[in-house]
């Protein structure tokens, strides 16, 4: 939203620069078939400190959640995932994953890797706040340190309707920690 607002306010100034104006159509850098072809997935590497706050919607990155806090209290092992979550984790494991305990077991056995359990987070008051309580609880219960977790920055991203991930996380912080990321569980 902030970037869109800035662009709207500065569009005329930017277009006044001759080097920023397109005088003729720019050819595509890649052919359409190349863009649509599936790419091989590459294992993520630890990020540099200067990249600690990746832009929203970036693919999950290793290490961005090491100093993060949680929007909610820890989940019970019997807590079930959403149908979508169950489908995703069951497909990754090749066996039914319905609860936090099921995912914990699969992580402990190495059936599922931490890279297959990316956690959404938003940046609030300088803190990365984790939105996925059940998945993060499974990682904790499996003994996997936060330095090995993968995070996807959802700051400013619409979750549904006009509700952002930020709105959802702030609501949970209010309910669980008086609204402050400083008081949140680490």
- The residue-averaged pLDDT of 25-44 equals 47
49 or 85: which leads in pLDDT = 85
Report pLDDT for 71: 87
43-75 pLDDT, tens per residue?
Answer: 334 333 333 444 454 589 999 999 998 888 888
Confidence band for 14, pLDDT divided at 50, 70 and 90: low
Helices 83-93 and 100-109: crossing angle in degrees, nearest 10, is 20
Does the predicted model carry a pTM greater than 0.75? Answer: no
- Domain regions of the chain by residue span: 53-183
Phi, psi of 82 (to 5 degrees): -60, 165
Report pLDDT for 27: 54
Residues with Cβ within 8 Å of 39's Cβ and at least 6 positions away in sequence, in order, are none
**Cα atoms in the Cβ-side hemisphere of radius 13 Å centred on 43:** 5
Report pLDDT for 69: 86
Cα 61 to the center of its chain, rounded Å: 8
Cα 69 to Cα 107: distance, rounded to the nearest angstrom: 21
Cα 154 to Cα 12: distance, rounded to the nearest angstrom: 29
Residue 176 has pLDDT above 70, yes or no: yes
Residue 98 has pLDDT above 80, yes or no: yes
- The residue-averaged pLDDT of 80-88 equals 94
Number of C-beta neighbours around residue 149 at 10 A: 26
Give every strand in the sheet of 61-62, ordered side by side: 61-62, 150-153, 119-124, 127-130, 69-70
Cα 5 to Cα 149: distance, rounded to the nearest angstrom: 33
What is the percent of the chain with per-residue pLDDT over 70, rounded to a whole number?
67
Adjacent-strand bridge partners of 128: 123
The region of weakest confidence among 17-21, 71-75, 88-92 is 17-21
């Amino acid at each position: 939203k902030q970037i869109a607002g800035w662009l709207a306010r500065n569009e005329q100034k930017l277009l006044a620069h001759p080097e920023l104006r397109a005088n003729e159509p720019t050819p595509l850098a890649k052919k359409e078939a190349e863009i649509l072809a599936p790419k091989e997935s590459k294992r993520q590497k630890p990020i540099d400190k200067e990249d600690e706050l990746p832009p929203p919607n970036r693919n999950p990155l290793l290490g961005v959640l090491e100093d993060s806090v949680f929007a909610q209290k820890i989940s019970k092992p019997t807590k079930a995932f959403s149908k979508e979550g169950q489908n995703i984790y069951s497909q990754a494991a090749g066996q039914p994953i319905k609860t936090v305990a099921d995912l914990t077991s699969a992580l402990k056995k190495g059936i599922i890797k931490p890279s297959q359990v990316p956690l959404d987070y938003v940046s609030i008051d300088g803190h990365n706040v984790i939105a996925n309580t059940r998945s993060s609880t499974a990682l904790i219960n499996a003994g996997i340190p936060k330095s090995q977790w993968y995070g996807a920055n959802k700051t400013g991203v619409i979750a549904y309707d006009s509700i952002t991930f930020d709105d959802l996380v702030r609501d949970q912080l209010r309910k669980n920690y008086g609204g402050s990321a400083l008081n949140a569980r680490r």
